Chain A
Amino acid sequence: MSFLLWIADRWFFLLPLVLGFIAIWELLPKARRPQTLLAAAVGIGSVVIAGFLMPRFTGPNVPLAFDLLFCAFSALAILAGAAMILQTNPVYAALWFALVILATCGLFLLQSAPFLAVATITVYTGAIIVTFMFVIMLAQQSGQAEYDRRSREPFLASLAGFLLLGGLLYAVEVTYRPTSHLSELRDRLQEAISLLESGEAAQIEPALARLNVGGPLTFTDLLVDEARRVPAWPLMAERAQQAAELVRQLQLAAARQNAGEVRSGAQALFALTDEFEAAHSQYLGQLRIPEAVTPHISPLTRKHPGSSYVTGLGRALFGDYLYAVELAGTLLLMATLGAILITRRQGEAEA
Chain B
Amino acid sequence: MSGPAPHNSLIVGGVLFCWGAIGFVARRNLIVMILSGEMMLQGVALNLVAFGAHFRSFEGQAFIVFMLTVAACEAALALALILVLYRQRRSLDVSVWQDLREPGLEPVVDLEPLEEAHPVVVPVAYPRLTPAGRRPVPVPPSIPPLPEPAASTPTSQPPGEEARG
Given contacts A146-B114, A172-B14, A332-B73, contact A324 B143 (CB under 8 A): no
Let me know if A316 and B58 touch, CB within 8 A: yes
Given contacts A93-B35, A324-B66, contact A290 B83 (CB under 8 A): no
Report the minimum CB–CB distance from A244 to chain B (whole Å).
Answer: 30
Please give, as numbers and ranges, the residues of chain B lying within 8 Å of A70 by CB-CB distance: 4, 8
Given contacts A157-B25, A316-B62, A343-B83, contact A31 B53 (CB under 8 A): no
Let me know if A147 and B92 touch, CB within 8 A: yes
CA A112 to CA B4, docked complex, whole Å: 10
| Among A165, A287, A312, contact of B18 (Cβ-Cβ < 8 Å) | A165
With a 10 A CB-CB cut-off, give which of B10, B15, B26, B159 has the most chain A CB atoms.
B26
| Among B27, B53, B122, B153, contact of A347 (Cβ-Cβ < 8 Å) | B153
CA A296 to CA B42, docked complex, whole Å: 26
As a 0/1 sequence over residues 181 to 224 of chain A, the CB contacts with chain B under 8 angstroms (1 = contact) are 00000000000000000000000000000000000000000000
**Across the two chains, which residue of chain B brings its CB closest to A74?**
B12
CA A187 to CA B80, docked complex, whole Å: 64
Let me know if B82 and A143 touch, CB within 8 A: no
Report the minimum CB–CB distance from A266 to chain B (whole Å).
Answer: 33
Please give, as numbers and ranges, the residues of chain A lying within 8 Å of B4 by CB-CB distance: 58, 62, 66-67, 70, 110-111, 288-289
Please give, as numbers and ranges, the residues of chain A lying within 8 Å of B79 by CB-CB distance: 131-132, 135, 339
Given contacts A57-B5, A120-B45, contact A168 B14 (CB under 8 A): yes
- Report if A242 contacts B (CB, 8 A): no
Let me know if B3 and A110 touch, CB within 8 A: yes
Please give, as numbers and ranges, the residues of chain A lying within 8 Å of B29 by CB-CB distance: 90, 145, 147-148
Please give, as numbers and ranges, the residues of chain B lying within 8 Å of A146 by CB-CB distance: 110, 114
| Among B28, B52, B77, B153, contact of A150 (Cβ-Cβ < 8 Å) | B28
| A-to-B contact residues, CB < 8 Å | 24, 28-29, 31-33, 54, 56-59, 61-63, 66-67, 70, 74, 77-78, 81-82, 84-85, 87, 89-90, 93-94, 97, 100-101, 104, 107-108, 110-113, 115-116, 119-120, 123-124, 127-128, 131-132, 135-154, 157-158, 160-162, 164-165, 168-169, 172, 175-176, 284, 287-291, 293-297, 301, 312-313, 315-317, 320-321, 324-325, 328-329, 331-332, 334-336, 338-340, 342-343, 345, 347-348, 350-351
| Among B53, B77, B93, contact of A339 (Cβ-Cβ < 8 Å) | B77
With a 10 A CB-CB cut-off, give which of A116, A131, A162, A291 has the most chain B CB atoms.
A116
Let me know if A54 and B11 touch, CB within 8 A: yes
Can you name 30 A-B residue pairings with CB atoms under 8 Å?
Answer: A32-B112, A33-B117, A56-B8, A63-B1, A66-B4, A74-B12, A93-B32, A93-B35, A107-B46, A111-B50, A116-B61, A128-B72, A131-B76, A132-B75, A135-B83, A138-B86, A144-B121, A150-B28, A152-B27, A158-B22, A160-B25, A161-B18, A288-B2, A289-B2, A313-B61, A317-B58, A320-B59, A325-B65, A332-B73, A343-B80
Given contacts A81-B39, A150-B114, contact A347 B156 (CB under 8 A): yes
Given contacts A104-B42, A328-B66, A336-B76, contact A297 B57 (CB under 8 A): yes
CA A338 to CA B78, docked complex, whole Å: 11
Question: Number of B interface residues, CB 8 Å?
Answer: 98
Let me know if B71 and A85 touch, CB within 8 A: no
Please give, as numbers and ranges, the residues of chain B lying within 8 Å of A101 by CB-CB distance: 42
Please give, as numbers and ranges, the residues of chain B lying within 8 Å of A343 by CB-CB distance: 80, 83-84
Please give, as numbers and ranges, the residues of chain A lying within 8 Å of B42 by CB-CB distance: 100-101, 104, 124
- Report if B151 contacts A (CB, 8 A): no
As a 0/1 sequence over residues 133 to 165 of chain B, the CB contacts with chain A under 8 angstroms (1 = contact) are 000000000110010010001011111000000
Report the minimum CB–CB distance from B124 to chain A (whole Å).
Answer: 8
Given contacts A62-B2, A150-B110, A342-B80, contact A89 B121 (CB under 8 A): yes
| Among B1, B23, B112, contact of A31 (Cβ-Cβ < 8 Å) | B112
Beyond A63-B1, A140-B126, A168-B10, list 13 extra A-B contacts (CB 8 Å).
A58-B4, A74-B8, A108-B46, A108-B49, A146-B114, A147-B93, A147-B95, A164-B17, A172-B7, A288-B4, A293-B56, A347-B157, A350-B156
